[in-house]
Amino acid sequence: MRKLWVAALSISAAACGTGTEVARGPEVVTDTIGDTIVVHTVSGSVWGSDATLVPELSIGEMDGADEYLFGSIASIAVDDDHNVYVFDRQAQHVRMFDTEGSYVRTWGGPGQGPGELQRAEAMAVLPDGRVVVRDPGNVRLQVYGPGEESSQEWPYTTGYYTSSPLWTDDQGRTYAPARDLSQPQASFGDLLAVFDPDGTPRDTISPPHGEFEGETVTGERDGARVTYGVPFSPRAIWAVHSSGHFVSGISSDYKIDLELPEGVLRIERTYEPARVFPREADHRRAQTERGIGMSIPGWTWDGPSIPDTKPPFSGLYSGRDGRIWVPVSTEAQEVENEDHDPDNPFSTPVNWRSPLRFDVFEANGTYVGAVNPPGDFSPNPSPVFEGDDVWAVSRDDLGIQRVVRYRITLESDP
């Protein structure tokens, strides 16, 4: 094992949104353990301060042309020219907008015919500009473009209904959630069906950490069985990186693995755990009891204790540029629920809200810095990240959805 201490790794980078060249660097410890390179950030970052997201472009209106009104945005994507694609689950079609936010065209529509969609769920863009839509309702992947009238159908017999994203990589491969048809009742498993750029099924692969079993609580009665995860307990998290490899981790520790052809790059960071407040734990335990109680009346908590700190991270996203975006846990605040309905057993007088925060890493493990998005920024559906630009869905006080392009800006900038 070889260990190297780098006390203030010097990296030249452009300060986001300013165009000013700066030289800042984190303090890093690197280890080489077999075929795993560990990059552990002790302190500091390339940016030297936190960043925020400033909106630059908004697509979507409450009043106006139908092309700019969204019913239920389930997926967004961006191509190399920064055209924006929006899949509307309610309308069952994909709308394309240019880099200025102007409407270009619509693909799809509800139905079972060529080019139509039935209970489609997610969308992604291939490097050549084609749009792939996962449509288990029609048992296929529907492919549009690059021309207005061009479309293809790729059989997708292993598909099932899920809220998972659809992934593509920079080699033009597509990754879709799949089930193992060789198992009894075609059980749903953590599998991905991989398709080549021409739609040929390439392989079925298992994401990492499939053997990990997080803590759960279970209610059973008269043949009914309901299982919930213990709130704030660690879980296995993974995503498909733009390189076509997995980025993954078990959230008990701040350790994230990026698979590489020659081995593994492990990203680590020293962090301060976010606390779980006693009233917050009581709130989440009560939610779990109500959920299981819907099927197992009278069920009360009989599982392990809820942790008093949160896992270091709660998700993983891969940017188009290879950067890794990590939603990190933050401490929550108790806020009044203005929409509380006493007659709804799942409605509570108060909610606990945790500010959204991302850690951003380069694909070589360098810690770039932290980003604090505005309150109307939604991490679902999956945002699109590329360089200093972020595209995400935003919802206003009236519930109107929009797709917003944000610019990363350092909070220390004037």
The string of pLDDT tens digits covering residues 223-237 is 889 999 999 999 999
CA–CA distance, 78 with 174 (Å, rounded to integer): 15
SS (H, E, C) 78-121: ECCCCCEEEEECCCCEEEEECCCCCEEEEEECECCCCCCECCCC
Confirm if 193 and 204 have CB atoms less than 8 A apart. Answer: yes
Task: Give the contacts of 227 (CB within 8 A, at least 6 positions apart).
Answer: 216, 217, 218, 219
Give the pLDDT band of residue 346 (cuts 50, 70, 90).
confident
E strand residue ranges, 89-244: 93-97, 103-108, 122-125, 131-135, 140-144, 151-155, 167-168, 174-179, 188-195, 201-205, 216-221, 224-229, 236-240
Calculate mean pLDDT across residues 90-96: 97
Q: Taking 90 as the threshold, does the pLDDT of residue 272 lie above it?
A: yes
Calculate mean pLDDT across residues 317-344: 93
Both tokens of 123, joined, read 């969308």
Give the pLDDT band of residue 50 (cuts 50, 70, 90).
very high
Residue 277's H or E segment, with its range, is: none
Name which residue leads in pLDDT, 160 or 52.
52
CA–CA distance, 66 with 321 (Å, rounded to integer): 33
Both tokens of 400, joined, read 């109107």
Confirm if 36 and 56 have CB atoms less than 8 A apart. Answer: no
Give the pLDDT band of residue 24 (cuts 50, 70, 90).
low
Calculate mean pLDDT across residues 180-207: 82
Both tokens of 366, joined, read 């360098």
Q: Taking 80 as the threshold, does the pLDDT of residue 189 lie above it?
A: no
Give the pLDDT band of residue 16 (cuts 50, 70, 90).
very low
pLDDT at 183: 65
CA–CA distance, 216 with 230 (Å, rounded to integer): 5
The phi and psi torsions of 293 (rounded to 5 degrees) equal -65, -20
The mean pLDDT value of the chain amounts to 91
Q: Peptide bond preceding 414: is omega within 30 degrees of 0, i.e. cis?
A: no
Q: Taking 70 as the threshold, does the pLDDT of residue 1 lie above it?
A: no
pLDDT at 210: 87
Give the pLDDT band of residue 5 (cuts 50, 70, 90).
very low
Q: Taking 60 as the threshold, does the pLDDT of residue 303 lie above it?
A: yes
- Alpha helices by DSSP H, listed for 20-67, are none
Task: Give the contacts of 297 (CB within 8 A, at least 6 positions apart).
Answer: none
pLDDT at 15: 42
Give the pLDDT band of residue 414 (cuts 50, 70, 90).
low
